[in-house]
Structures are given as C-alpha cells and as structure tokens.
Amino acid sequence: MNLRGKKVIALGERDGVPGPAVAECASRAGAEVVLTLTACYV
Amino acid sequence: MIPRMTPNGMPAIRAVSLVLAHVPSLVRLGSKPLRALREVKDPVEYLRPHLRDWDAARTYAPNQVFIGNLGVDDLAARLVPWHRHPVAGAGRFGPDGEIMPEDEFLGLLATCDGFDLLALAGEIADRARPALDAHPVVGRESGRPAVPAGVSAAVLDERIERHKATPIVGADGKLLGAMLPGHDEDDTLTGQVLLENLACKATAALALRHLLARPGAIATSDVRYVMSCGEEAVGDRYQRGGGNVAKAVAEWAGCARATGSDVKAFCCAPMHALMLAGALVRSGLHDDVMVVAGGSLAKLGMKFQGHVKHAIPIVEDVLAGFAVHVARDDGVSPVLRLDAIGRHEVGSGSAPLAIMKALYSEPLARIGLTLLDVDRFSLELHNPEATEPAGSGNVPLNNYRTLASLAVVEKLIAREAIDEFVRTRGMPGFSPTQGHIASAIPYLAHARRGLTEGHLTRTMFAGKGSLFLGRMTQLPDGLSLVLERNSAS
C-alpha cells in the first residue's frame, strides 16, 4: 500500500498495536498523520 | 518477634486479601449501561433477564478462583463456558476473601457513608443489619458504624424527585435506596459520583478488614500507613481528584494511628503502589504498609451489550477489592525484588515488543535472569467470558502470546513452544473487568501461597495503564514486579 501523500488516522489498541506505533509506521511510509488515538477495551 | 530486615533485605508480601461484592442492581448504574440504555423505556426490565442471582455468581468458577477456593490450573481444566458449569459446593468464603451478597453490601455501603447521603429502604436495612452484624469479619464487634435505620418509600421518592438523589432499583424493580448529591451545583458530588466513590471505599474497607481479621495479622493499631490505588478520584469542584480514599478506608477499618494517600496511574496504579509501599518499608520509614483498592461501579456491565446479544448472563455484576500487607522481611513471606522493577519509561515507545522488553526481559536481566526463570507471569487477567462476547478478544491470552513471542525473539524458546509457554507460565483470565484489579493483582494471593506452601520459586506481575484515555498524553503506562520465594524459608 502506498501511503505517500495520504492523510492517515491512526487508530490503535492498547493490548495490540497502540496508536502512536501505527502513526510512526504511517509517518515513515510518507503519510501525514492527522489524528492518533488508542483504544482500551478493558 | 519478627527479625529486623537486613540492609540488603527486600520487603515481603505478608498477606493478601481479595473480595467480591455481587451487585446486580448496580449494573444499571455502570457507565456503559447508563449511556447505552438512555433511550430504553425501562432499563431495569431490559436488564433483568440477563442478571444473575447470588447463587450463580457464587458458584461461578472465575469468582471462586478470585477468592482462592479454586486454583488457576483448576480453572484451566474446567469445562467452558464457565457460566454453564457452576462449581459444586462453592462457598461464599475462601482463603483469600469472600463474595458478599447484595443486601449485605448495601448495608455495608450505608455504614461507610458518614454524611447520611445514602438512604436504604426500611426492608433492605432491616435485612442487611442482622446479616452484617453476624459477619465474621465486619460484624458489630469489628467496631464499624451501625447499619442506619431505613426510610419509607415516600422519603426515598421525595429525595429522588425533589433533591436529585440517584435511585438504586433492584433487579425486581423495587426501590432499594437512593443516594443524595453532596452539593447542589457540584458535578463531582452528584449522587452517581458519590455512589461510585462509596462503592470503592466499601470494597476496599471490606478487603482490609479481611486482612486484619486473620490469625497472626498485624494489629489494627499498628497500621501506620495505607495506600489506596483504586480508580475513583474523590474530590470536589475545586479539586476533582483530591483524595484521600486510603485515609477514609483506614478510618472505617479502625486504624486510628494510620495515615495514607492515594496513588493514581490508571489501571497500573496497584503496581506503582506496591513498589512505593516496598520502598517505604525498605527505607525504614514504615515497618508495614497496607495497599488497598476498591472496586469500580462505573465498570459494572461495561460489556453488557455483548452478553445481551449472545444471550448469556452479564458476568460484570461484581465489584472487586483487595488489600496487601507489605512488610519487613519475616524470613517466610515472599520478597518483592525492588532491584528488578520493570518500567515503561517516557522514552520506551509504544511498539508492543519494546513495551514487553521494558516490562519483562530488561528487569530480569538486571538480576541475571531470563523469562524462563519465572514460573508464572501475572498479566492482564480479564475474564474472557466478559470480553469475548463483546468483541474485545481474550486479553490475557493475547498478552501471554506476545510475551511468548518475546521469548522466541530472545531465542529462549522455539516458535513451536509458544503454546506450551502460554499454558505453563500463563493462566486463564478470571478477574471481573474491574480495570486496576484485573491488571495482574488477582493472582497475588495464589502466588503468595505457591511461593510459601507450594512449588513456585519466582513470579512476575505486570500492570498496564491506559494513560491516553485521560487525554493528557498519548503514552500508556506499565510497571512490573518480581515476587520471589524467601531464601530463608
């Protein structure tokens, strides 16, 4: 998937992959991260 | 006579208690049911078919593990779903605590209310009083306040209609009581908020009394410091998280010479509190510190929609509480390795493997150990029967598999051995989804037994906190502790 130049909303999960980790990956792939959130399901 | 701790000695975990209060009538007042059922005409009627009676809650295998009547391996061997396979002969009391029925707990709540804000219906108060007075741990001889006289239905109605009291309605639709606000214009002192705070105080106090009532327990008058790490932020409009639940609990439990404070770190707070308690003991400032936490009323029924959808009982119908006595090394009790604290630091990042390393392998390496030197890991212990029907997965299993993956990365086990690692060093989740309590704590009493009377040598506890939910940081939190068999025993 080519994320360069795309806007990304990074949604993560605490016991899986947290939002900032998703955002870091998207950012390194050239995306603009516009929102980062992590959910906690417990 | 307890020997003085040596300069290099570590603090010990002298005692642990774990309690549950079965409160089906309070499920409606959990945060999720309150919000989700706002448009439902009769929420009580809606929830009724899915609420359990006390026998079902008492004989529920995870609850029996929680109070120590069943072991974690016993639970793993039982038929699932657990809610369809009750434990024959399950007792109310266990070696670690009890499962208190609702009537008694409502009476207990009333004894914890020093401002006459909670009124119980006369019938409820009259039922709760004799039962609570005869209680082996919080009976009248424990010195607690009396269960106040109940009031008429007319008085309850007036409080609700004219004074904005929060109604407490039984699963059968009867009005059981009402909680008045503590102030006319303070959102932090509404009846709902105060009921949550009171439930936290009462369950923590019940756990502390269980600890103090045991043979050989520390004398109430010798308790000098109490830390509370529950989820409620007691306060007022000028200081929302002011505190101090610990002192309120100590007062109720009759610890006249104690003071205390609250530790906040979302669900990671109990790990921080145990570490701080250990540090206070090791420093010599206090010989004994009690760490307590009460339950979260807000989290009752948190996943109820999944239970309703799948036509299974709402298993998030219990409040939990615990108390831990951290003390000088007595030569018998398991020791808390303060030289092996795992920390999620600001710079640790949020990649799952980085978090796991910070919490597990790094602290163990500091004392020359690996993951394989730990007999049992206690992580997030949320009951999967609470979370899976709601689509939240099996949280403990996911965490254990990630931990096992770390062991693979560190070349300690082969990839094919992941399942065995999870089975032998992990355990099934058996905790109600009470956040901070589910975060590693429920195994503590089992570990203490295994490290004294059993075959365990070393256990590790790791709690996680979702700090990002408070919108002040994107960071999570995490802290781990190693508990070891006493080398003198």
Instruction: Confirm if B103 and B128 have CB atoms less than 8 A apart.
Output: yes
Provide ipTM, 2 decimals.
Answer: 0.88
B46, part of any domain? yes
In this structure, the answer to whether residues B346 and B419 fall within a common structural domain is yes
Tell me the chain B residues in contact with residue A38 when contact means C-beta distances shorter than 8 Å.
350, 466, 468, 474, 476
d(CA B309, CA B304): 8
In this structure, the answer to whether residues B215 and B339 fall within a common structural domain is no
**Digit-coded pLDDT (tens) for B182-194:** 999 999 999 999 9
Tell me the chain A residues in contact with residue B442 when contact means C-beta distances shorter than 8 Å.
none
Which pLDDT band holds residue B8 (cuts at 50, 70, 90)?
Answer: low
Is A18 in Cβ contact with B380 (below 8 Å)? Answer: no
Which pLDDT band holds residue B3 (cuts at 50, 70, 90)?
Answer: very low
B5, part of any domain? no
d(CA B352, CA B7): 37
**Digit-coded pLDDT (tens) for B465-486:** 999 999 999 999 999 999 999 9
Which pLDDT band holds residue B351 (cuts at 50, 70, 90)?
Answer: confident
Q: What is the pLDDT of residue B328?
A: 97
B29, part of any domain? yes
Is B351 an 8 Å CB contact of chain A? yes
In this structure, the answer to whether residues B360 and B435 fall within a common structural domain is yes
d(CA A17, CA A5): 23
pTM of the model: 0.96
Query: Domain boundary residue among B273, B303, B327?
Result: B327
Statement: residue B132 has pLDDT above 60: yes
Chain B nearest-CA residue for A36: B474
d(CA B67, CA B210): 11
Q: What is the CATH number of the domain that holds B387?
A: 3.40.47
Chain A nearest-CA residue for B436: A42
Query: Domain boundary residue among B327, B362, B388?
Result: B327
Min Cα separation B406/chain A (Å) = 14
> What rounded mean pLDDT belongs to chain B?
96
Which pLDDT band holds residue A15 (cuts at 50, 70, 90)?
Answer: confident
Of B309, B277, B303, nearest in space to B444 by CA? B277
In this structure, the answer to whether residues B300 and B354 fall within a common structural domain is no
Query: Domain boundary residue among B327, B347, B379?
Result: B327
**Digit-coded pLDDT (tens) for B396-409:** 999 999 999 999 99
Statement: residue B450 has pLDDT above 60: yes
Contacts of B160 (CB under 8 A, 6+ apart): B166, B167, B178
d(CA A27, CA B89): 57
Q: Span B420-438, mean pLDDT?
A: 97
Statement: residue B357 has pLDDT above 50: yes
Q: How many domains does chain B have?
A: 2
Q: Which of B392, B474, B475, B477 to mutate to probe the A interface, most A CBs <10 Å?
A: B474
Host domain of residue B345: 335-484
Instruction: Confirm if B444 and B324 have CB atoms less than 8 A apart.
Output: yes
Contacts of B398 (CB under 8 A, 6+ apart): A15, A16
E strand map for B247-370: 259-262, 288-293, 318-327, 335-336, 342-343
Residue ranges per domain, chain A? 7-39
Which pLDDT band holds residue B463 (cuts at 50, 70, 90)?
Answer: very high
Across the interface, of A36, A37, A42, the residue whose CB is closest to B395 is: A42
